[in-house]
Each structure stands twice: as C-alpha cells, then as structure tokens.
Structure 1
Amino acid sequence: MTQDTDSARSRLGSRMWLTPSIVVTIVMGVLAAMYLGGMVSSSDDIDDFPIAIVNADTGATASSGQHIDVGGQIVENLRKNTDGDKFDLRMLSLAEAKGEMREAKIYGAIVLPGDLSKKLTTLTADATSVGAIERPQITVYTNQLANASSAPIVTSFADRALTQANQTVGEQLITSVTSSKATGASPDRSLPGTARLVLSAPIDVQVAPFQSVPDGTGNGMSAMYYALLLVLAGFTGSLIASNFVDAHLGFIPTERGPVYLQEAGSGYSRVATLAMKWALMAGLAVVVSTVYLGVASWAGMPLEHPWTLWMLSVLAITAVAVVVQSILALLGSLGMVVNLFLFIVLSIPSSGGTMPLEASPSFLRFLASFEPMHQIYLGTRSVLYFGATWDAGLGHAVIASVAALVLGLLVGFLGTRSYDRKGLVRRHTQA
C-alpha cells in the first residue's frame, strides 16, 4: 500500500511541476520570438513595400532644340536602382495615388511635378546670370495613417533614391552649362561657386504628410489599440464568463478567499452550456462596445463614424468570443493555451498595427492572413482614419469576422453535440 501511495505521489509530483514548467517555457519562448523577432530587423525584412511614383513631367525643349525629359530619366533610374523584391513601385497618376493613399493601399508617393524639366532648363540658363535661382521641387508624401511606422521607411527610401537622381541630374546640368554649346565659352570655363553648388543638387526634395495625423489618435496608433481592446474583450471576457458560468452550473468549484464552494451539478449538456456562454458574450459585446465608445469619446478620440465603429465592435467581439468559447468547450484546459496563442501570442505581432506587414518577417505576413487582430485592425483603421470606406479595410474586417463567427458556431455546435451523443458528460471522475 505504501509503495502504491509513493508511486502515485511521484506521478502527481511530476505532473504538478513538469507539465506547467514546460508549457510556460514554451509559451514565453514563442512570445519572445514573436515580439522581438518581428521588430528588430525590419529593414532586412522589407518585401513588396508599396510606394507610388507619379511622373507628371511634360518635358521641355532646350535652347539647342533638344527635347528634355528629366522626369522620365528619374523614373527609369528609380526602376533600375530599386530592388523589386523589396519595394513595389507603382506608376500612377496623381489622382490614382491619392485614391490609393485614401484607402491605405500604399504607404507613400513620390510626385514629380509637370514643370520639372522646364524649371531645370530655366535653371541651366540662369546659372550663369546674376540673380535668384529657383530650384524645381519634388514632393514625397507619407501616409502615416496607413501605418505609424511606414513614414520613416518611405522617407529613407526617397532620400536614398532621390539623392542619387539629384546627383546624376546635377552632373548633367553642370556639363551642359560649362560646355561651349550652352555658354559660348570654352569647355573649361568655371562656374561661380553659388551656381555650381545649386546645380550639383538642382532638385529640392520636400517631405510632407499626405494627411495630417489628427489630435487624439496617438500619432496614428489609436486604431491598433482599439483593435487590441476588441480582441481582449472577446478573449479575456470569454475566459472570465466561462469560469462564472461553469461555477454557477456546478461544473467547477468557486473560491472566494478562504471559502470553497461547489454548486450542485445542473446536468446541462455541453451544447446547452456552450449556447449559454455564446448568448452571454453576445450580450456583453453590445455592452462593452458601448463602454468603449464612451471611453473613446471621453478620452478625446475623433469619432466621425461612431455607429459604424460600434457595430464593427459588436461583431468583432462576438466573433472572437464565439471562437474562444468553442475552443474551450472542445479542448477543455488545453483550450486556454490554444486561445492564448491564437489571440495574443501570434495575433498581436502579426496585426500590422505597429509595423507594416511589408516590413515584417515572412512568417508574420503568413500569420496575418488568418490571425484575428489583423483583420479587426484593418476595420478599425478604416473607420477611424479613412472615412469608414469598405475598400479601405472595413469590408475585409466585416467579411473575416462573419466568417469566423459562422465557423466558430458550426464547429462548436457539432463538436459539443458529438461529445453529448457519446455520453462524454461533464462530471467528476476518478483519474
């Protein structure tokens, strides 16, 4: 008897210490890999980062009669010297570029003005004269509302690319001005210092936001945090509600300080219990969404489409809660770990809210194709920053949430119904 007791205690001790140690270590290790691995080398992870190139330059005719197309030359150099795997350069009109920035489909645009070649031709003629010299301007638009971390990437790319283009054009202009054809002087005639300095970098590059970031948006981070709140409401809320429901129905004990309570078993089936939890969380989704909206208004967030945000919040919270409850009903205690991975560990780094997915490791881009927070973030970003337009991410969020809701209901119902039919009732049995 003593031998059996010692053996049982040994098995219990190994389960009590070893299992949680392994699970916690794995969870924390994956958490570190996801959070640190997803942000420490973003410049190396850039892949198909979308930037528009708008070439409106109409060209010009030099005094020699030669047609000059500086815009076309700059575009050609950009194409030739840009890694096509890292950057997706889209040749668009100004109207198309603005439209794609309004729908968060591109992170920035480099705009070459219509009079670029004309002003450079004038600049060449003015270089040898006395007076003010006006440089043509190229504008680099950033789209920070599409992602708070995208602007530095766009600016860095434009700085490298246009610095090289500026130098190339400058060398051509200096050669043109100092040649006998352009000035009527000998080829070795030197330019005044100021003129040479201007011609060495003849294009003025200006960086400007496409849309100013409104006050109350946390520099464009409010959409990500709002999406996180919706995921947490469905995930954490479901865990809390599940424990209370199970305790009330007598499936698990309730501990209040030193008091240990065990309600009499209610005898409800797994399907009925899951349906109760779904109904409870659907009601709570309405309440919590209303609370979130009130807190956002109190905190000073700009809310141009409050009802759209409220409806999206109700849908998103309900969808997350249904999936969480279904996983818990089918997997039991293991469902807690699975939900933690699905909705927190893997979901937040792959949301695309802090770092553009195009500047994230490939495994995060893969996770974003199905992880819930990315889908919800696209919806909250559309509502808060881009006029709640369907094509700016709202449609994607609604479709993904409805699909998750239907899948969660279907899998949860069929799974628990199967357990009930097999007589796998929820009651205490001796291990």
Structure 2
Amino acid sequence: MADGKDSTKSRLGPRMWLMPSILVSVVMAVLAAMYLGGMVSSPDDIDDFPIAIVNADTGATTATGQHVNVGEQIVDNLRKNTTGGKFDLHTLSLADAKSEMGKAKTYGAIVLPRDLSRKLATLSTAVTSNGSVERPVVTVYTNQLASTSSASIVTSFANQALARANQEVGKELVTTVTSAETAGATQGRSLSQTARLVLSDPMNTQITPFQNVPDGTGNGMSAMYYALLLVMAGFTGSLIASNLVDASLGFIPTEMGPLYRLEGNSGRSRLATLAMKWALMTGTAVVVATVYVGVAHWASMPLEHPWTLWMLSVLAITAVAVVVQSILALLGGLGMVVNLFLFIVLSVPSSGGTTPLEASPSFLRFLASFEPMHQIYLGTRSVLYFGATWDTGLGRAVIACLTAVVLGVLVGFFGTRSYDRKGMVRHATPEEA
C-alpha cells in the first residue's frame, strides 16, 4: 500500500507541474514574438518591394530648339533617391506594368504621361502670358488585391518620391523662366509670385487603384481568411479525427462529461491506424471543401472559379492533414506541439496575407519559403482575385500541396512501419497495466 502512495506522490511531484508550465510558456512566448513582431514591422523591414515605373513621356522641344525629356529626369531622380535596396523600381511599358499587377507580381506603378514634357513647356509659357494653366498629371496605381496593406506603402513612397521630383522639376522651370526674363525673352513680362508658385509645383499626382476591390471580399482580406480556414480544417480536423479514431480502436479513453469509457485494444498496427486516419481526412476534405464553397456563395463572395477553388481546397486540406497525421503518428503527444508551431504559430504571421512579405521582417520572409499557409494563400488569392492562372500563385500552391502529400505519406509510411517492425505496439505494458 505504501508503494502505491509513493508512486502517486512521485507522479504529483515537481515534474508534473514544471513540464506543462515550461511548455505552455515557451509556446505562448514564441506565439507573441511571431504575431506582435510581424505586426509591428517598420519601414526598415522593407526589402525589394516591387514598384513599376512607366515613362511614357515622348519629350518636347524648347523655344531654343533643345529636345528635353522630363520623364527620363524624373526616373533618374527616383532611382537616385531610392537607395539601400528597399524598393525594386523596374522600368516597364504601361501594358507590361498592368500585366504584372494583374498577376500580383508588383504592388503598384508610377506612370509618367506621354505629354509630360510638352505640358511642362506649355506651363512655362502660360504662367508668363496669363494664359490657362494645365498641370500634367502623374498617375500612381495601387494593387490592393495583391496585399491589403501594399496600397498604403505604394502611396507613401510615391508621395515622397514624386514630391522630391516635383521640387527638382519646379526649380528647373523657375530658373529657366527667370533666365529668359533676364534675357528679355518674355517681352518685358515679369514672373509674378503666383506664377512662381505654380512653376514650383508643376505636376499633380493622382492615386488610383489598378482594379477596384470587389464587394464581398472583405476589402481584399477574403483570400487570407479562406487560406486560414483551409489550414485550420486540415490541422484542427486531424486532431479531432485522430482522437476519435484512437478512442474507437481502444488506444485512448473516450470521455464525455462524467462518462469515461475505454474500448478493448484493437491491436491494429501503427501503419494501419495511420492509413485509416489518412483515408478518413481525405474523405472529410471533400466534404469540408464543399461546405466552404457553399458558405462562401451564401456569404456573397465573388466566385468566378468555384470548381477550381473547390479542388484547391480539397488538395490543401488533404495536404495539411496528411502531414499533421504523420507527425502525430511519429511523435505522439509531442506531435501536437510540433504541429501547432508548424501550422499556426509560425505559419499565420508568415502568410503574407495582411502585410506583404517584402515589408515584413526577414525571419518571416524566410519562414514563408516553406510554411504551408503562405503557399495556400497564394493559391486562394489567385483563384479569388487573379483569374486562377498558373503563374499568379495557383501553380506554386498546387506544387507545394502535392509535395507535402508525397513527403507526408513517405515519412509516415516508413516511420510507422519501422515502429511496427521493432515491436513498438500501441498497448499498455505489463507494468502500466
């Protein structure tokens, strides 16, 4: 009897209290670091943020016969004042820029119009002759569907960069007109204060979305939330299914309120049990994917490619479930913690669904290269916003999911088979009994 009391006392010792406390504290600390660290990203985190520059300016000929192209000067000014590799300014035609924005490959475009130089030259003449003044308009396109917060980053950069360019161009115009006035080329008309103000701020900037965010997309957040639902279906669904299957096979007890029941041990091998769970979650993926698409339709989400979304959903849920079940089969209780880190703690902040990865801390960009939710988010974003084409993220999502299924099956098969061959069966040992 004393031995029983000693055994119970040892189980209730420091080890029982210390281990859960340490484990929970570590998980929550990493969770806080990932979520808060990713949320409070600063301008210093921006790296290679893609913005297209379209210089459509055809130039103009001045009164002295000199050909000028203000657009080229502005592009040079933008590049000169953008240092440190924070922004990837690539010069494209307007058609190519729109194509890249339509594939979510760039977050915005600064478009210098064809008549930029001509209108600036006309402006110089108009302000000294009291004629009608028409400032050229530089258009800045934002691409909010590529990432919800990208529009604010593009707008902030464009406003600052174009303000500097506007100042430089304005100085040149004031200097040119003043020099002409001194030389008598303006036929005695002096440059008024109003005219000087107009010339010092010669260009207008117009911010406009490349494409309007459709109603029913949560202001461009629906792709991120849909991807989260797919990951949660595979992750949470696998935990539920695993416990129910193990309980039915007699490996763990079933508890419902005060009721406690332990079925007789089925004696099934680890590999056979894992195969059952894989089959169950594959079938469940079909049902859940159907439910998701149905709920999305009920919620009035725009669904131009419902069958593609359904197939991607089935594949994504299955891929997550296969990996989760394999990790649980190989690591047991520890596998739940590993899965929590892999699919939730590290995966959600690195998804790129709220903040572009190019504006996120470097460790999130690293995680996004292999974390599942980023790959799934690219696929759902492609299907929901960008025509479900292979090169807008759908291809990467499909390849990543298929790779996860293959690796999960191989690791799970050979791992559990090894356990079975070594006699590591799932039943109580004589000592435990």
TM-score scaled to structure 2, two decimals?
0.97
1:16 to partner: Cα distance = 1.8
| 2:158 alignment partner in structure 1 | 158
SS at match of 1:179: helix
Deviations 1:32-66 (A, max 9, x none): 00001112133121011000011111111001111
How do 1:323-334 and structure 2 match up within 5 A? 323-334=323-334
How do 1:339-354 and structure 2 match up within 5 A? 339-354=339-354
Over 3 Å counting, the alpha-carbon distance change for 1:3 and 1:139 in structure 2 is same
| 1:105 alignment partner in structure 2 | 105
Counterpart residue identity of residue 25, structure 1: S
Q: C-alpha distance in 1, partners of 2:105/2:182?
A: 45
How do 1:389-428 and structure 2 match up within 5 A? 389-428=389-428
Deviations 1:125-176 (A, max 9, x none): 1111223200001000000000001000000000110000000100110111
Counterpart residue identity of residue 355, structure 1: T
Deviations 1:341-399 (A, max 9, x none): 00000000000001000010100000000000000000000000000011000000000
Counterpart residue identity of residue 343, structure 2: F
| 1:371 alignment partner in structure 2 | 371
Q: C-alpha distance in 1, partners of 2:215/2:182?
A: 53
SS at match of 2:138: strand
SS at match of 1:145: helix
- Select between 183-192 and 113-122 the one with higher mean Cα deviation: 183-192
Partners of 2:322 and 2:405 within 8 A in 1: yes
Counterpart residue identity of residue 21, structure 2: S
SS at match of 2:202: coil
| 1:167 alignment partner in structure 2 | 167
Q: C-alpha distance in 2, partners of 1:186/1:195?
A: 13
1:295 to partner: Cα distance = 0.4
- Select between 306-315 and 195-204 the one with higher mean Cα deviation: 195-204
Partners of 1:144 and 1:151 within 8 A in 2: yes
Q: In the alignment, is residue 85 of structure 1 matched against residue 85 of structure 2?
A: yes
Q: C-alpha distance in 2, partners of 1:239/1:265?
A: 20
Deviations 1:380-419 (A, max 9, x none): 0000000001100000000000000100001000000000
Over 3 Å counting, the alpha-carbon distance change for 1:188 and 1:28 in structure 2 is farther
Q: In the alignment, is residue 250 of structure 1 matched against residue 215 of structure 2?
A: no
| 2:213 alignment partner in structure 1 | 213
1:8 to partner: Cα distance = 5.9
Q: C-alpha distance in 1, partners of 2:132/2:317?
A: 62
TM-score scaled to structure 1, two decimals?
0.97
Q: C-alpha distance in 2, partners of 1:377/1:257?
A: 38
Unaligned runs of 5+ in 1: none
Over 3 Å counting, the alpha-carbon distance change for 1:164 and 1:325 in structure 2 is same
SS at match of 2:146: coil
> What percentage of aligned pairs have identical amino acids?
76
Q: C-alpha distance in 2, partners of 1:193/1:304?
A: 56
1:4 to partner: Cα distance = 8.5
Q: C-alpha distance in 1, partners of 2:134/2:180?
A: 24
Counterpart residue identity of residue 377, structure 2: Y
Counterpart residue identity of residue 221, structure 2: M
Partners of 1:178 and 1:189 within 8 A in 2: no
SS at match of 1:111: strand
Q: In the alignment, is residue 271 of structure 1 matched against residue 276 of structure 2?
A: no
Deviations 1:188-228 (A, max 9, x none): 97522332221111011100000100000001000000000
| 1:33 alignment partner in structure 2 | 33
| 1:303 alignment partner in structure 2 | 303
Over 3 Å counting, the alpha-carbon distance change for 1:4 and 1:241 in structure 2 is closer
| 1:23 alignment partner in structure 2 | 23
Unaligned runs of 5+ in 2: none
- Select between 242-251 and 8-17 the one with higher mean Cα deviation: 8-17
Question: Cα RMSD between the aligned structures?
Answer: 1.7
Q: C-alpha distance in 1, partners of 2:404/2:41?
A: 32
Partners of 1:180 and 1:187 within 8 A in 2: no
Deviations 1:290-332 (A, max 9, x none): 0000100011100000000000000000000000000000000
User: Alignment length, in residue pairs?
Assistant: 431
| 1:127 alignment partner in structure 2 | 127
Over 3 Å counting, the alpha-carbon distance change for 1:97 and 1:182 in structure 2 is farther
Q: In the alignment, is residue 116 of structure 1 matched against residue 116 of structure 2?
A: yes
Counterpart residue identity of residue 427, structure 1: H
Over 3 Å counting, the alpha-carbon distance change for 1:13 and 1:66 in structure 2 is same
How do 1:51-66 and structure 2 match up within 5 A? 51-66=51-66
Deviations 1:77-135 (A, max 9, x none): 11111024111111111111111101100000001111111111111111112232000
| 2:47 alignment partner in structure 1 | 47
SS at match of 2:244: helix
Q: C-alpha distance in 1, partners of 2:209/2:352?
A: 20
Over 3 Å counting, the alpha-carbon distance change for 1:57 and 1:159 in structure 2 is same
Partners of 1:179 and 1:186 within 8 A in 2: no
Counterpart residue identity of residue 58, structure 1: T
Counterpart residue identity of residue 44, structure 1: D
- Select between 222-231 and 189-198 the one with higher mean Cα deviation: 189-198
SS at match of 2:128: coil
Q: C-alpha distance in 1, partners of 2:322/2:73?
A: 56
Over 3 Å counting, the alpha-carbon distance change for 1:276 and 1:188 in structure 2 is farther
- Select between 346-355 and 120-129 the one with higher mean Cα deviation: 120-129
Structure 1 residue runs of 4+, over 6 Å off? 186-189
SS at match of 2:117: helix
